[in-house]
Structure 1
Amino acid sequence: MLKRITKKKSLLLTAAVLAAMSVPAYAAEKKPEDGKAIKTGAVVVTASRTEQEVKETPSTVEVITREDIDKMGAESVAQALQLAIGMDIQENAMVGNRVSIRGMETNQTLILIDGRRVRTEDTGSTMNFYEFERINIDDVERIEIVRGAASSLYGSEALGGVINIIRKRPDEQKTSVTLDWTTRRKDAGIRFDAGKHGNWNIAASFKVSDYRERGTDDKSNMYGKKYFFNIEGRMDVAKDKWLDVFADYLIEDQYMKGIIIRKNKPTIYHGRDYDHTRLSTGVKYAGRDKRGNYEMQVYYTRFHKDQNQRNRANHDLLGFDDMTFNSLIFDGRRSMQLSKDHLLTFGGEYREESYDSTRLTGNGSMSREGVVSPFGKRSVNYAALYVQDEWLLNPDWLLIPSVRWDYSSSFGSKVTGKLGTTYKINKDLRFKANIGTAYRAPTASELYLDWDGMPGGERVKLWFHGNPNLKPETSLNFDVGLEMEKDKTFGKITYFHNKVHDLIYGYSQFQYMPPPMRSINHIFYDNETDVTLQGLEFEVKQSLGSGFNARGLYTYLDARNDKDIRLTGRPYHKASLQLSYEDQKNGWDATLWNDWIADYYYAEAVGRRTIYKNAAISILNLVVNKKINDRFSAYFGIDNLLDTYNDNLGYDGRIWRGGVNVTF
């Protein structure tokens, strides 16, 4: 009898473990929902590289639609993500934003545009920080956010999750003009959609963003212009077969003031010039047949950064940085319906990345206006294969295993996997769970950096040193959750747990020097042992009737290293209460929301000591839209309505904003 009970418990435990492990899901036919009810039927393509309904996919997914973007009056991707759950998009000190999901670092989130990798800076303090300001929001159709480990499908960087920015591909001919103005910047853009002409559908866009120069006490003091150019097209090769082409060009012409505080008085000088260009272009062949979908693509990116530092008195050149990031990527995938219960997806990727820079270990020299700087070149090659099965065990239970093999010329091979499940407890209630491994490869800068900074500092110099012996960061991630929707109510609660090994971090060693130089702060990279991030995400939506809807979000995050010490730059508590109103008959909609951050843990230097503190803040925001007719709409918004300041959390007062959109 005891043996029977033990065996029964073992079988139940095995079933529970299988149910608690998960990955992405499948697309199912659903009946249209009542317009007055909460809608959860959006389709996503990022979670499993196949089309799935959000309610069906095991992954924790959120979709920011074009309708959401317009209602926010968003002039950037960062603005569009303000109402997302569990994300930290705190403003960076040089006109950029953190990209943190569930407390992970910014460089542990993978950013994609139409499923393509973005070639960006590669240090821990710059990777992904500026990307949300480098995308023309006028071209964006929707933004898909996948939380949790995703390396089994996407490879390196996807420890915290994936953000896939999907651009418009309309079929009708139209021209749209957008004008945005805020107390921080002004934008003007035009987009032309040619519509379908023969076998071709072509669209082109141009936009200029002008960031304003701010006050002397403002740490975010990078200003100047950005220019966005995009052209893309689709040619129908044959029935259910098409060819996509695209070319993007970005120009950043910006400046950053230098500020020195002497006797409590700021001294301003012209600091650094930032002249950046990025060209991305590629071609994709895709189609579908009776077995499923397929695609193959190749795309190339060249990102050049030219930075100069000038003397604050006479503007003589003191130092310069010249950096060129190149990437060439081939990838492809195939989805096949093996049976009515199995959808198999497999694919591969080959990637060549190179980095030429004055910041790397030098093998030559460059000169400019009599200033000489060492110049180095490094490259890393990657290859990968992956496979995934979307297995419908029965009408109520979906199981998705996936596995990926990656090879890097810098560290060798890495295998990651994920298992996800969605189980329908009843027609209104679902159980979801995922478990997976992920990794982040050390970048060329972390491996080979040798940069003593631009000269001209106040007797202190930073000197960064790479470490060619760095190991990849790895993680084990799992989450379990419940989702429910019934008529006018939707609710979701998720517990997540992420254990990160060999976290790459920088540490300092001071070298004291004779006058006039006071010291050199040498910064080295190494692998830290373990970091654990865990917490809860809670979301509830309620239709209140008469055009009113309410949404509440709450995230609890506990992030600690292996010595049980809290990680800085993260709050224990983050909450948001959002009230929206829509009057379709008269063309009005409005959103009022309040964000709360509590127990935000940060470090502050006081003399030679470091003091750890907690910060809290409450921020109220408002945006109102008016659709005047089918061709003209306008919005007005106030961020930080109560004019709250907090340097540690990146809030420095009220922001007025407004804009118009005209379609011809």
Structure 2
Amino acid sequence: MILNKKLLTLYFSFFSVTLLFAQEKVSDTTKIEQLEEVVVTGQYNPQSIKKSVHNVIVIDREKIDKQAANTLADVLNFNLNLNIIPNAQTGKSTISFFGLDAQYFNIMLDNVQIVSDNGLGNNIDLTQINLDDVERIEIVEGAMGVEYGANSVAGVINIITKKKLDHDWQIQTFIQEETVSDEYEWFDKGRHIQALSIGHRINDTWNAKISANRNDFAGFFNNKKGKNHYFNDGLRGYDWLPKTQFNGKAAINYNSDNFNAFYKFEYFNETLNYYDASVRANIDVQSQTSNPSATDRIFKTNRLINNLNINGHLKTGAVYNATFSYQTQKRDLNQFNYYILTEEKTNETDETYQSSDVFFSKGTINNLSKSDKINYQLGYETRFIKGFDTQASGDVTQQDQTLKQENYAVFGSAEIKLIDKFSIRPGLRYEYNSMFKSQLLASLNARYLLNKGYEIRASIGSSYRTPNFEELYYYLVDSNHDIRGNQNLSPERGFSSFLNLKKRTWFKDISLSNNIKLSYIDLKDKIELAVINPTPLQYQYINIDGYRLWGITSENTIKKDNWTLNLGATYQGISRIMNNEENAKNDYLYALQLNTSATYLVKKWNTAFTLLLKHNGKQENYIAEGSDEQGNSLFKKYTIDAFSWMDASIKKTFFNKKVDFTIGARNIFDVTTVAINGASTSGIHSTNNSSLLLGYGRSYYFKLLYNLNF
């Protein structure tokens, strides 16, 4: 609590200083505004952030490089309203966005949702998204259902890749070495990354690029003994499972005055190793020897992405954009009995237990009006998804449940300039889904540019979330359990509203930016596992409740000379509305997040110093702890202790930007587990967890990058 008060005092002191500067006379900003970043997510045409009708958060290439970020999980953890949720035993890291898990927003690559183990765009493992060829990351908060359809309840994250080359030949290679906590060896411990990319500008209109990246995470022992430990004492294996990833990419780009075409192919492979802690002695009484063994598993993920985008201008001035994508992802399981001393395998089985095949197409046309006051966009979108997830569907096999889903959508919106500084954008989307009822989604966005650098943006919109494999098909029935999915589930319906006030000020050599956001999200028909029969006790996934969130966020930036300082805070209240539970707790539970970053550039040394800090305040939630005689769940409150992340880095450039050297530390506060208080329960959801594993401790890294351009 003392830490929270100190951080709040620091925050409001900084906020007061920036407001004080903001009262000063604004200098000529024409030159500065020309340097504003151009964004594309949710826009008709690429345009500056100031002209964007949406509030877009941008993580540019410079920020990615300063953090030596290799995957999406490396770079997002310091953003407000976002929390990375790692799972040490599956090797996956997903996101909580406005308190909602990774099923409620879309992750896209150049405006195309990325395939996952059991879907498209959502519930994606962030450690599988490589950032080598990324130009910037754009985050839009709030329902984006009109633009992007299902599962865009909380917002979208759009990864924009580099498409143009500045030189005839661009060759880049780097190595990156990291410790995992205090564990490091050249091969068997730590994290080891190598990458190479080659780009060639063939002529003024054609360029091509190929790249490869290998990321070897050797696991985190954390007092466990690894693969070769053969005693049955629970110490065999790893706390965080080791895995190796390979990313290969190829792209070709055609760019002329009125027509552009971009094709990208991406291959991803991941091998994750699981070593069972339970060891069988296998004692041979006659020879008085033993040959200990364990049931080990190797998980392999393979993903292929083929994206083609064409866009251009018609003679009438209209702008068209069409995207076609075929993606596939499979997760295979190789299970076997491993004899630890002799390194032999027996009883080996192979199966594909997660698979997704997707064809996606989206097209838009805008600038159809000759008027300066109105512009409108018309578009279509189609998705064909086929897949299965035997892990999520319990005892049901892939032959029994292969999901086939077809989506057809048409949408349109109009951007109307009521006056020079005030514009609105209403939008509608009709979406047919072969598995669920058709959806009509709507949105209204507005932007008002006031005097003295003030900008106001407001948005309201709707989206929905489709049920996942587990909710539809889960089946576990035995003498102690009766838990089932429900193929009659309805999609969850989401509504959000956001209000954003931004103030920009330039005073002499100081640039200030203050941003305040109010957010509200309302979910109805939320899917939960509930008691449907008290005797005998039966559980099933049903649409039973809702979810409400309101929050206020403030983000502030001050730039002076070589300094850039950022400080932000968000305060959220979340309520779970359990409509059919007599004993449900519907109170709002509140949580605080603070973040800050500082960068100092020493120009004569070509060196940048960066510090990043994020504080996550104590979080509260309710958990079911059994049922009363009528089958109604009983609830109790539990809390997750506050914790903070801090990273620091130094990046130096040598030899006219040909060589970059970056050193740094991650998780400086050495966070591994965070205490959970009051979560012990009884019944079908019984848990005795007293801690949540969030990290593998303080780690250090260096990255050496070489650029050859000619």
Q: TM-score range by the shorter chain?
A: 0.7 to 0.9
* Structure 2 counterpart of 1:549: 564
* Structure 2 counterpart of 1:241: 259
SS in 1 for 2:100: coil
* Structure 1 counterpart of 2:14: none
Q: 1:322 to 1:175 in 2, by over 3 A?
A: same
CA contact (8 A) 1:358 1:374 kept: no
> In structure 1, what is the Cα distance between the partners aligned to 2:392 and 2:617?
40
From 129, 144, 158, the counterpart of 1:164? 158
* Structure 1 counterpart of 2:705: 661
> In structure 2, what is the Cα distance between the partners aligned to 1:80 and 1:477?
26
> In structure 2, what is the Cα distance between the partners aligned to 1:574 and 1:450?
38
Normalised by the size of structure 1, how large is the TM-score?
Answer: 0.83
For residues 254-293 of structure 1, the aligned pairs below 5 Å read 254-259=272-277, 271-289=296-314, 290-293=316-319
CA contact (8 A) 1:257 1:268 kept: no
1:149-196 CA deviation, whole Å, 9 max, x = no partner?
000110001000000001111222211002112124211111111113
> In structure 2, what is the Cα distance between the partners aligned to 1:461 and 1:637?
51
Is it true that 1:498 corresponds to 2:506 in the alignment? no
> In structure 2, what is the Cα distance between the partners aligned to 1:474 and 1:261?
48
CA contact (8 A) 1:620 1:641 kept: yes
* Structure 2 counterpart of 1:435: 460
Could you tell me how far 1:59 is from its partner in structure 2? 2.2
Could you tell me how far 1:322 is from its partner in structure 2? 2.5
CA contact (8 A) 1:604 1:613 kept: no
When the two chains are superposed, the root-mean-square deviation of aligned CA atoms in Å is: 3.5
CA contact (8 A) 2:117 2:354 kept: no
Q: 1:615 to 1:310 in 2, by over 3 A?
A: farther
Could you tell me how far 1:643 is from its partner in structure 2? 2.1
Q: 1:320 to 1:216 in 2, by over 3 A?
A: farther
* Structure 2 counterpart of 1:203: 209
Greater per-residue strand proportion = 1
* Structure 1 counterpart of 2:547: 531
* Structure 1 counterpart of 2:695: 651
* Structure 2 counterpart of 1:562: 577
For residues 131-530 of structure 1, the aligned pairs below 5 Å read 132-171=126-165, 172=167, 173-184=169-180, 185-197=191-203, 199-215=205-221, 221-236=240-255, 239-259=257-277, 271-289=296-314, 290-311=316-337, 316-317=347-348, 321-338=352-369, 339-356=371-388, 358=390, 376-450=401-475, 465-487=484-506, 488-507=511-530, 524-530=540-546
From 506, 519, 540, the counterpart of 2:556? 540
Normalised by the size of structure 2, how large is the TM-score?
Answer: 0.78
- The one-letter amino acid of 1:133's match is T
Q: Please, which moves more after superposition, 140-149 or 612-621?
A: 612-621
- The one-letter amino acid of 1:298's match is F
> In structure 1, what is the Cα distance between the partners aligned to 2:372 and 2:61?
33
Could you tell me how far 1:259 is from its partner in structure 2? 4.0
> In structure 2, what is the Cα distance between the partners aligned to 1:511 and 1:308?
39
Could you tell me how far 1:646 is from its partner in structure 2? 2.4
Q: 1:623 to 1:512 in 2, by over 3 A?
A: farther
Q: 1:58 to 1:199 in 2, by over 3 A?
A: closer
1:285-326 CA deviation, whole Å, 9 max, x = no partner?
221235232122221111111124445777645885533211
CA contact (8 A) 1:58 1:420 kept: yes
* Structure 1 counterpart of 2:185: none
* Structure 1 counterpart of 2:30: 31
CA contact (8 A) 1:540 1:553 kept: yes
* Structure 2 counterpart of 1:370: none
Q: 1:252 to 1:524 in 2, by over 3 A?
A: farther
> In structure 2, what is the Cα distance between the partners aligned to 1:82 and 1:346?
36
- The one-letter amino acid of 2:543's match is N
Q: 1:416 to 1:449 in 2, by over 3 A?
A: same
Q: 1:246 to 1:181 in 2, by over 3 A?
A: same
From 593, 603, 607, the counterpart of 1:588? 607
> In structure 2, what is the Cα distance between the partners aligned to 1:530 and 1:605?
16
Could you tell me how far 1:478 is from its partner in structure 2? 0.5
Could you tell me how far 1:358 is from its partner in structure 2? 4.2
SS in 2 for 1:111: strand
* Structure 2 counterpart of 1:3: none
* Structure 2 counterpart of 1:638: 665
Q: 1:166 to 1:652 in 2, by over 3 A?
A: same
1:561-581 CA deviation, whole Å, 9 max, x = no partner?
11574799x970110122211
- The one-letter amino acid of 2:32's match is E
CA contact (8 A) 2:502 2:514 kept: yes
> In structure 1, what is the Cα distance between the partners aligned to 2:101 and 2:321?
32
> In structure 2, what is the Cα distance between the partners aligned to 1:364 and 1:293?
48
CA contact (8 A) 2:326 2:359 kept: yes
- The one-letter amino acid of 1:497's match is Y
Q: Please, which moves more after superposition, 383-392 or 596-605?
A: 596-605
* Structure 2 counterpart of 1:622: 648
> In structure 2, what is the Cα distance between the partners aligned to 1:450 and 1:200?
53
Could you tell me how far 1:51 is from its partner in structure 2? 2.0
Could you tell me how far 1:142 is from its partner in structure 2? 0.5
From 94, 97, 101, the counterpart of 2:97? 101
CA contact (8 A) 1:216 1:268 kept: no
> In structure 2, what is the Cα distance between the partners aligned to 1:463 and 1:205?
49
Aligned length: 602
> In structure 2, what is the Cα distance between the partners aligned to 1:460 and 1:181?
51
SS in 2 for 1:78: helix
> In structure 1, what is the Cα distance between the partners aligned to 2:430 and 2:293?
52
Could you tell me how far 1:235 is from its partner in structure 2? 2.8
Could you tell me how far 1:227 is from its partner in structure 2? 0.8
CA contact (8 A) 1:504 1:528 kept: yes
Q: Please, which moves more after superposition, 49-58 or 66-75?
A: 49-58
SS in 2 for 1:107: coil
Could you tell me how far 1:134 is from its partner in structure 2? 1.6
SS in 1 for 2:62: helix
- The one-letter amino acid of 1:548's match is W
Q: 1:175 to 1:565 in 2, by over 3 A?
A: farther
CA contact (8 A) 2:270 2:302 kept: yes
SS in 2 for 1:106: coil
Q: Please, which moves more after superposition, 391-400 or 306-315?
A: 306-315
Q: 1:317 to 1:86 in 2, by over 3 A?
A: same
Unaligned 5+ residue runs, structure 2?
1-28, 181-190, 225-237, 281-291, 340-344, 579-583, 628-634, 675-691
> In structure 1, what is the Cα distance between the partners aligned to 2:636 and 2:575?
18
- The one-letter amino acid of 1:70's match is D
Q: 1:358 to 1:149 in 2, by over 3 A?
A: closer
Could you tell me how far 1:243 is from its partner in structure 2? 2.4
CA contact (8 A) 1:247 1:282 kept: yes
Q: 1:580 to 1:91 in 2, by over 3 A?
A: same
Q: 1:653 to 1:508 in 2, by over 3 A?
A: farther
- The one-letter amino acid of 1:282's match is N
> In structure 1, what is the Cα distance between the partners aligned to 2:595 and 2:145?
30
1:215-254 CA deviation, whole Å, 9 max, x = no partner?
1568852212111111111235x64113222211111111
* Structure 1 counterpart of 2:69: 74
1:347-383 CA deviation, whole Å, 9 max, x = no partner?
1011111114545879997xxxxxxx85542201000
CA contact (8 A) 1:549 1:580 kept: yes
> In structure 2, what is the Cα distance between the partners aligned to 1:546 and 1:565?
52
> In structure 2, what is the Cα distance between the partners aligned to 1:493 and 1:552?
12
> In structure 2, what is the Cα distance between the partners aligned to 1:503 and 1:441?
10
Could you tell me how far 1:601 is from its partner in structure 2? 2.7
* Structure 2 counterpart of 1:597: 616
> In structure 2, what is the Cα distance between the partners aligned to 1:90 and 1:358?
23
Could you tell me how far 1:413 is from its partner in structure 2? 0.8
Q: 1:556 to 1:207 in 2, by over 3 A?
A: same
* Structure 2 counterpart of 1:456: none
> In structure 2, what is the Cα distance between the partners aligned to 1:273 and 1:607?
36
Q: 1:198 to 1:45 in 2, by over 3 A?
A: closer
